[in-house]
Amino acid sequence: MSQYRTFTAQDAVAYAQQFGGLENPSSLVEAQEVGDGNLNLVFKIFDSQGVSRIIVKQALPYVRCVGESWPLTLDRARLEAETLVEHYQHSPQHTVKIHHFDPELAVMVMEDLSSHKIWRGELIGNVYYPQAARQLGEYLAHTLFHTSDFYLHPHTKKVRVAQFINPEMCEITEDLFFNDPYQIHERNNYPAALENDVAALRNDDQLKIAVASLKHRFFSQAEALLHGDIHSGSIFVAEGSLKAIDAEFGYFGPIGFDIGTAIGNLLLNFCGLPGHLGIRDAAAGREQRLLDIQQLWTTFAERFQALAAEKSRDAALSVPGYASEFLKKVWQDAIGFCGTELIRRSVGLSHVADIDTIQDDEMRHECLRHAITLGKALIVIADRIDSVEALLARVRQYS
């Protein structure tokens, strides 16, 4: 019989005392539930001096923002913990550290990041972290290369693919990214003023064929162990530091999906900044987002190719020039997946504060339209955007 029970704050304190690895566990005295996501309970555990020392996270057996009518597997907690442990092995400076995991309780104890801030909030506030985009590119290069066919023995890779099968969480992605926004669905969430814009998505056959191709790639291309949801709300930043968290969507999929999701969230901020700062004052911040995208991709591509030249173990994949050709495909995938992120965050169930917190209704609607228009363009013409410079030119064209 399962030992699962939903934690209270007192349960979280007791668990942290037992498994937090602190020299003086009795100093942990209080917990505060701070989870603002859709899937989990997250407790900050404080010591007697009021200092947050450790995090206890528990998966709920349903989608939190919907309720028990949308059940979810608790195995996602294992997949999250194992994804983060694997990513920490290859990029410890940019991955949250997991101290302990219990699959029966779907609970993990992890490093406290109170010294950091969630990147999305900082982007909305126009607070700039000069190293963040480069660090994200480093994280993606190391985690994706070291879990790919370039590095893993084929036998090991096949075992890992099976280990990280994540059908229920992948189904959420498949629905929210590739299905819901392009049909009438009760999960969709957008202002009535955008009905014509959304109807145009449903009636665009060229767009829907391109989205079908992206979904097929998401289904079938087990290229590397993805984070699976690497948006600016799942990244903590501080001066000189960046840490990825929340990897419950981790699975082996197309490398371009993680890249595209990351770029898409920077573009969502690009679309939303005028609503927070005004059109004139947002100009510098928007240009910085484009430079961040350029730095993210350039860092990723250069580091991935360097790792491929140094560490590739497969004779065929080690042929000079192949890694560069492979990254051309990754880039094209990333552009398409970036477009689906822009659209699903504007039309579908899960929005982003970059746009949703804009107070003026008319401005918020315009920012949403911008994201939808840009997302549609990127999906349809992904094969014509052959460089990051070409992407930035297209974004400026649609601004």
Instruction: Flag whether 314 is marked binding.
Output: no
Chain centre to alpha carbon of residue 141:
15
pLDDT in tens, 9-40: 999 999 999 999 999 999 999 999 998 766 78
Which two tokens mark 325?
Answer: 């050709």
Instruction: Flag whether 36 is marked binding.
Output: no
Instruction: Flag whether 186 is marked binding.
Output: no
- Among the listed residues 279, 265, 288, 397, the one whose alpha carbon sits nearest the alpha carbon of residue 344: 265
Q: Whole-structure pTM over 0.85, yes or no?
A: yes
Instruction: Flag whether 57 is marked binding.
Output: yes
pLDDT the model gives residue 62: 82
DSSP-derived letter for residue 95 is: B
**Contact predicate 151/313, CB 8 Å:** yes
Instruction: Flag whether 111 is marked binding.
Output: yes
Instruction: Flag whether 196 is marked binding.
Output: no
> What whole-number distance in Å separates Cα of residue 26 and Cα of residue 229?
35
DSSP-derived letter for residue 384 is: G
Residues 6+ apart with CB under 8 A from 49: none
DSSP-derived letter for residue 268 is: H
Residues in the chain: 399
pLDDT in tens, 75-86: 999 999 999 999
* Mean pLDDT of the residues in the chain: 96
Q: Binning pLDDT at 50, 70 and 90, where does residue 1 land?
A: very low
Residue identified by tokens 């007791």 is: 14
Residue 227 has a CB neighbour count (10 Å cut-off) of 29
Residue identified by tokens 């969430």 is: 189
pLDDT in tens, 355-398: 999 999 999 999 999 999 999 999 999 999 999 999 999 999 98
> What whole-number distance in Å separates Cα of residue 278 and Cα of residue 389?
26
pLDDT in tens, 304-332: 999 999 999 999 999 999 999 999 999 99
pLDDT the model gives residue 70: 76
**Contact predicate 136/262, CB 8 Å:** yes
pLDDT the model gives residue 65: 66
pLDDT at 208 over 60: yes
The average pLDDT across 201-208 equals 98
**Contact predicate 235/135, CB 8 Å:** no
What's the N-to-C CA distance of the chain in angstroms? 57
> What whole-number distance in Å separates Cα of residue 362 and Cα of residue 344?
20
Instruction: Flag whether 203 is marked binding.
Output: no
Instruction: Flag whether 138 is marked binding.
Output: no
The average pLDDT across 200-215 equals 98
pLDDT at 335 over 60: yes
pLDDT the model gives residue 399: 85
pLDDT the model gives residue 383: 96
DSSP-derived letter for residue 125 is: T
Q: Which residues pair with 44 in a beta bridge?
A: 32, 55
> What whole-number distance in Å separates Cα of residue 376 and Cα of residue 204?
10
The amino acid sitting at 66 is V
Percent composition of the chain: helix, strand, coil (DSSP 3-state, to 5): 55, 15, 30
> What whole-number distance in Å separates Cα of residue 153 and Cα of residue 146?
11
**Contact predicate 31/65, CB 8 Å:** no
